[in-house]
Amino acid sequence: MPPVPQIAAHARTVPASGIRRITELAWSLPDAVVLSVGEPDLPTAPHVLEAAREALARDDTRYTPNGGIAPLRDAVAAWLDPEHALPVRRDNVWVTAGGAQALHLGLSLTVGAGDGVLVPDPGYPPFTMATRLLQAEAQPYALRAEDGFLPDPAAVEAAITDRTRVLLLNSPSNPLGTVLPADLLAELVDVARRHDLWMLSDECYAAFTYDAPHIPAARFDTDGRVLTLHTFSKTHAMTGFRVGVLVVPDTMAPLMPTLQESVISCVNTPAQYAALAALTGPQDAVDAARRTYREHRDLAAGLLDERGIRWLPAAGGIYLWADVAHLTDGDVAAWAEDLARSAGVAVAPGSAFGPGGEGWVRISLTASAADLRAGLSRLPAR
């Protein structure tokens, strides 16, 4: 039998998800409490479901323009325009297959093989995964506990090399729950400007801030270098609809139809109408989700206090970052696996988000209050 061709070498360098590994282990165990994945435990709003049903009922199931249906793109532009320094128009807005494709598309526009992307450590694993899939290099910049896990502009600048092309930010942060303040965002945009970098700003949790307002990085973009990611998945409990948004500068707009055509052509039509209803219809469900996740944050923090476990105050997002270094003997991934098997509770090991997460775990606040109580009560007390 003749040999088969080799798999592309760079595909083998994409790291596996440590979050998925612990979650799938928990799903295989009877009665395990899963606090490791950010799946909303809330229903999708009825008017959103109805918009999808109506699109199906009228057989609106054909191709749309590559960028998405015009009413949805216009609604996104109207939502974002007041907060951005440069105008947001329809041509700047591209509807994607969730935030994941928005990330991939944004990186495809800004890096080539061998280029560098500054990614936060700890940070959302697909930042590195997507970078490597494009044959680019992930260049971590450290987020340290002594700095409240906020970026230090000087440290970010020191991580820049002659290959660096993109600075990637995430606010509110997954996994940390940090929210970048205006003065820090302005400094970071200035770092990108001085070094002629693109900035890719993941703002997928913008609707969920509690102790600080969400401020878009694009507010400080005066020369068209910031690309912004959003998604309907968590904000509107629409993870399975797979609808996200990439907002690009004017200079990229002419390229977008070709790039989008080469990857997905367009997002499915009924899902786009559902997203339009989510954005333009009643926001009661979003407000209720925000209140629920804040209550879950406070509940989880209290439960951790009872166990003597330190946690990072979460100003936004849907996760709580907890310090279990005193329990893990320097290997939080192994500890989390043992916890799932022995105690029947899954938390995401911090090392899945980068070396800077060693000794920490991420706890999802999208779980029910009952699951949070049951799961966190099984953590060893200090």
What does the alpha-carbon distance between residue 269 and residue 285 come to, in Å, rounded to a whole number? 23
pLDDT of 372 reads 97
**Which residues are paired to 311 by β-bridges?**
322
What is the per-residue DSSP string for 90-143? GGGEEEESHHHHHHHHHHHHH--TT-EEEEEES--HHHHHHHHHTT-EEEEEE-
Q: Which residue's entry shows tokens 């270094």?
A: 325
What does the alpha-carbon distance between residue 45 and residue 56 come to, in Å, rounded to a whole number? 17
| pTM higher than 0.75 | yes
pLDDT tens by residue, 134-172? 999 999 999 999 999 999 999 999 999 999 999 999 999
Cβ proximity of 374 and 59 under 8 Å: no
pLDDT tens by residue, 323-350? 999 999 999 999 999 999 999 999 999 9
Please check the confidence at residue 105 and state whether its pLDDT lies above 90. Answer: yes
Q: Give the amino acid at 327.
A: L
Looking at residues 201-216, what average pLDDT do you find? 96
Q: Is the dihedral of CA 13, 319, 43, 105 positive or negative?
A: negative
What does the alpha-carbon distance between residue 337 and residue 340 come to, in Å, rounded to a whole number? 5
Please check the confidence at residue 242 and state whether its pLDDT lies above 80. Answer: yes
In this structure, what token pair is assigned to residue 53? 């049903």
Quickly count: other Cβ atoms within 10 Å of residue 197's Cβ.
Answer: 21
pLDDT-based confidence at 27, cuts 50/70/90?
Answer: confident
What residue ranges define each of the domains in the chain, with the CATH number in brackets?
9-44+284-376 (3.90.1150.10), 62-280 (3.40.640.10)
Q: Is the dihedral of CA 52, 54, 56, 59 positive or negative?
A: negative
**Which of the residue ranges 14-18, 34-38, 67-71, 374-378 would you say has the lowest mean pLDDT?**
14-18
pLDDT tens by residue, 165-197? 999 999 999 999 999 999 999 999 999 999 999
Quickly count: other Cβ atoms within 10 Å of residue 334's Cβ.
Answer: 13
Cβ proximity of 362 and 347 under 8 Å: yes
pLDDT of 11 reads 87
Select from 189, 191, 210, 193 the least CA-distant residue to 201. 189
